[in-house]
Structure 1
Amino acid sequence: MINWDDYRVLLAIQRSTSLRAAAKSLGVNHSTVQRRCTTINQKYASKLIEQTGASYRLSELGLALSETAEKLESLILEDERLYAASQIELAGEIKLSLPPPFLQFLLLDDINGFRREHPGIKLTVQSSFKLADLNLSEAHVVIRVSNHPAEHLVGHRLFPIGVNYYANQDYLNNTARRDLQWITAQVGPEHNAWIADSPYPEAPCHLSIDDITARHQAAASGHGMIRGANYIASHFPDLVPLHKASDTPFQDVWVLTHPDFIGLPRIKRLIQALVSALKQKRQVIEGNI
């Protein structure tokens, strides 16, 4: 195969769970990918893409060629990163990826201030818990909460997020101890070992909410107790720490980029701005650790 577009189709089929997902990753519609698959199979002596009902998958030969495609993709992305790093002006694109609560509760004003200060920089903010892949240039700068980020990334390790146990005061006052219940991210003791160290280790989990902000809202509304982040809980006046509960460290905050981007002035400037803004908010993020 010598056509990069054909390789891209193979990679999209390999990495996607459906033809529609493959089409989305390629930025085309479903019928276009269908036609491309047919054309690829007609161009080569052996079928590279097999269809079973509505499902598409790579043949054995297609899988072998997809390995070549991944190597080519890696080289192309490396070229793109190096080209971006060669642009020395404080202008151009920056893709920033960070967890939604960091944008909502900590950095929205600071990011907007950075945008106003640097009108030549086109800043795209990806607010998601999905980890952007810097090797694939899905982002140029990321804020991560982790004790073990990818070792090849470079940047700043700041300080840990402080967590505590919270509930609505009326809920605590009006609920018998035997009726107190936890709101957690996932159900199951393997996910909630921290309950054993809480002021109410005997209380069960009756509600699971995967969205961290919604958990805080549910607790503030009197639906149960949570282990919450101090910087989020501070935005909910109805949340109070449980009696005899103290702030404890959770995981560290990092501001990171790919080594190919660290020399780029606009990337440096954004990292400096984010680090400065987060350090100014250290007390609300850490609490009284």
Structure 2
Amino acid sequence: MPLAWDDFRLVKAIADRGGLTHAAEHLGINHSTAFRRLAAVEAALDARLFERRRAGYVPTQAGEAMMLAAARMDEDVARFTREVAGKAQTPAGELRITAAASFVTDVLVPVLGRFAAAYPQIRLDLVVSEEALNLSRRDADVAVRASDSPPLTLVGRRLAGIAWAVYGRVGDGPDRADRCWVSPSEAVGGGKLARFVRAQAAQGRIALQLNTVLGLAEAIEAGVGIGPLPCMKGDALPGLIRLGEPEPDLASTLWLLTHPDLRHAPRVRAFMDFAAEEMAALRALMEGRRARAAARPT
């Protein structure tokens, strides 16, 4: 039986996910189909591709070789797809954009609404993720990403600085001494937000920790504690006040990024130009340079 591309994909999926069940879910087939196909591939090769162990499926030497071949084929397909997409002539087709949830709800959705009206032939697919998706595999075409050092494999433009400050409720006053805190966890922003809060908060005074920026403002508004917020978010909430100037150690940069093979694709170029112009109007807010007057407790 000659091997097909799907056979290589199956073997790679099993190796990547450690077993048939998760591989079948990833490929959109049922467990019994995956089992039969693996058995057929091993019979055709007259070689075992995996050792079946209690901890999962472990590739044999033959399995490793087939998995590496599948990875090379996968990269070739992705490269071909990017090159074809980059040669399109008009701004049309699907455009997949990825961004973190907090940025999507506060900034990106209005931009996407205006972009969709301006480019009705482009179908938008928004992937909300705190993780950095792989643009080389076309998990996304464009990433809107906060980063101190974007990957060298991507190209794009700096949109704005992102200023952060400590916020609390207006009614609780401006004093930060001996207050409870809310904090992002180590998983957010490389851990620098969590380290900042630990350095500021008294022992045992971190009342709540979240594994995302989403929900921080709501926790501060609810009186759980004071905490860091992007200035654009905190300054927009009338019930909150800054408890100090923006913190330089928390500052980051917002980037608009794509893969080099896609930067000249009309739909990608159209979005990057459009988004850059839209973000320019928000730069002062994002960089904390347009704060409303601080309210005073009554």
1:186 and 2:188 matched: no
| Residue 232 (str. 1) matches residue 266 (str. 2) | no
Matches within 5 A, 1:1-40: 2-40=3-41
Deviation of the 1:75 alpha carbon: 1.0
Query: Shift of residue 204 of structure 1?
Result: 3.0
Tell me what 2:266 maps to: 265
Tell me the amino acid that sits aligned with residue 213 of structure 1.
L
| Cα contact 1:147–1:252 (8 A) shared by 2 | yes
Of 8-17 and 212-221, more deviation after overlay is shown by: 8-17
Q: 3-state SS of the aligned residue for 2:76?
A: helix
Aligned to 1:195: 197
**Alignment check: 8 A CA contact 1:91 1:121 kept:** yes
TM-aligned CA deviation for residue 176 of structure 1: 9.4
Query: Is structure 2 residue 219 aligned with structure 1 residue 218?
Result: yes
Give the SS at the match of 2:225: coil
Residue equivalent to 2:285: 284
Deviates more, 1:157-166 or 1:47-56: 47-56
Q: Which moved more, 1:16-25 or 1:267-276?
A: 16-25
Cα distance, 1:222–1:18 mapped onto 2, change above 3 Å: farther
Alignment map for 1:120-139 (pairs within 5 Å): 120-139=121-140
Match for 2:231: what amino acid?
A: N
Change in Cα spacing, 1:31 to 1:169, as seen in structure 2 (3 Å) is: farther
Q: Distance in 2 between matches of 1:176 and 1:99?
A: 29
5+ residue gaps in structure 2? Answer: 291-298
| 1:87 aligned partner | 88
Could you report, residue by residue, the CA deviation over 1:77-131 in whole angstroms, capped at 9, with x for unpaired residues?
1111111112111211111111112210012111012112211111111111121
CA change 1:37–1:125 in 2 (3 A) is same
Mapped partners of 2:167, 2:176: distance in 1:
16
Counterpart Cα distance in 2 of 1:187 and 1:85? 38
User: What's the counterpart of residue 113 of structure 2?
Assistant: 112
Distance in 2 separating the partners of 1:196 and 1:81: 44
SS at match of 1:256: strand
Counterpart of 2:251 in 1: which secondary structure? Answer: strand
- Farther off after superposition, 1-10 or 104-113: 1-10
- Aligned residues of 2:207 and 2:224 also touching (Cα < 8 A): no
TM-score if structure 2 supplies the norm length? 0.86
Change (3 A) 1:235 1:12: farther
CA distance in 2, matches of 1:283, 1:74: 41
SS in 2 for 1:137: coil
| Distance in 2 between residues matched to 1:50 and 1:40, nearest whole Å | 15
Deviation at 1:195, TM superposition (A): 3.5
Asked if residue 66 in structure 1 is aligned to residue 54 in structure 2, the reply is no
Q: In 2, are the aligned partners of 1:247 and 1:288 still within 8 Å (CA)? A: no
1:160-211 Cα deviation digits (max 9, x unpaired): 10000011233458x9943x1211112799873323775x666732321112
Can you list the C-alpha shifts for 1:58-81, whole angstroms capped at 9, x where unaligned? Answer: 223201221111111111111111
For 1:152, the equivalent position in structure 2 comes to 153
- Distance (Å, rounded) in 2 between the aligned partners of 1:212 and 1:148: 19
Residues 196, 76 of structure 1: alpha-carbon distance in 2 compared, 3 angstrom cutoff: closer
When the two structures are superposed, what TM-score results if normalisation uses the length of structure 1?
Answer: 0.89
Cα 1:273–1:187 shift into 2, 3 Å: closer
Count of paired positions:
285
Percentage identity across paired residues of the two chains:
24
The CA distance in 1 between the partners of 2:281 and 2:121, in whole Å, is 26
Map Cα deviations across residues 201-252 of structure 1 (whole Å, 9 max, x no partner).
667323211121212110111001111111222343222111x443536111
